[in-house]
Structure 1
């Protein structure tokens, strides 16, 4: 970052996730991490913009896979667009959620359940 400050320009892009915006119960710890990353990125945006450094968070609100709404090439285009933005119009956050995608969590094949344990309510014990 010192070299960016000295040059008076630079770009820092963080990869966030839709879970920071809409937590999914089975992935609460990942959601907390993505929310913290989002806060870091938004805070750095305010702190570094006066130095000419553009900081932004790209929240990918779904599962990345080729030839779908979350195609990696489409997402890469969003990163490039953010990097090329003039500072006067610098976005601090971009949510990649294509039209028609599920705003809660886009996982039509329910693959997240393959790696998640079911939530089972446990009775409270008297002490």
Structure 2
């Protein structure tokens, strides 16, 4: 049974992805800062016949993230799909003139060092399988800087560059790296941005790999 590791496994998109990939035969590693949310979701998924386990990690603590992914691979099997979609902290969403160097450092740890640590942990297993998918989920500021959310604009740009380079480097090995840009509020009422719809887009990126970036509504 293939395994998907969802980093940022909350009640919205993380839960929807867990259900979508779980229905397709994946076991699910739910990675989150707090144990309570993944534990509750794991129970819901179990009642739906989906195997899932919860793991606690802070994406700004790369050691904890690495331990969580190692445990997931040991307990559920090689991670074949990695979804990196934690919700940015409010400190990353300040106007540029109110954003400090410390804010930028934290945002970079969250959106660049975090995914880099996760990818490096799961990539050897994907390479051994000869297949795999890395799914990066970002807001609109990853594609167009927005001075009202300076931290994410800077850090998402770095994440985008890193992902695009990985996409090019890993495609010959059968490992696809794709980015989903969500230019709106998830679950805000627009059907395109509902969690189930976005999980479907992520499933499509995994099953029909193409270019690096896919924009919802674009």
What TM-score does the superposition give when structure 2 sets the normalisation length? 0.41
**Which runs of structure 2 are paired with 1:87-102 in the superposition (5 Å)?**
90-96=210-216, 98=217
What whole-Å deviation, never above 9, does each CA across 1:5-48 have from its counterpart, x for those lacking one?
A: 11111111111221122222111111111111111111100111
Q: How many residues were matched structurally?
A: 95
Q: Distance in 2 between matches of 1:65 and 1:39?
A: 27
Runs of 4+ in structure 1 off by over 2 angstroms are none
Tell me the distance in 2 between the aligned counterparts of 1:56 and 1:70: 18
Q: Deviations over 1:90-121 (max 9, x none)?
A: 2211011x27xxxxxxxxxxxxxxxxxxxxxx
Partner Cα distance (1:66, 1:24) in 2? 20
Instruction: Give the root-mean-square deviation of aligned CA atoms.
Output: 1.5
What is the match of residue 18 of structure 1? 140
CA drift of 1:66 comes to 5.3
Matched, 1:8 2:130: yes
Deviations 1:41-99 (Å, cap 9, x if unpaired)? 1110011111110111111111111542311111111100000015xxx2211011x27
Q: 2:185 aligns with which of 63, 66, 70?
A: 63
TM-score normalised by the chain length of structure 1: 0.69
Q: 1:73 aligns with which of 196, 201, 206?
A: 196
**1:76 & 1:24 partners in 2: Cα distance?**
25
2:157 is matched with: 35
- Consecutive unaligned residues of structure 1, counting only runs of 5 or more, are 100-127
Bigger radius of gyration among the two: 1
3-state DSSP of counterpart to 2:185: coil
Greater share of helix: 2
Match of 1:48 in 2: 170
Give the Cα separation in 2 of the matches to 1:32 and 1:76: 26
- Name the counterpart of 1:116: none
Q: Which runs of 5+ in 2 are unaligned?
A: 1-122
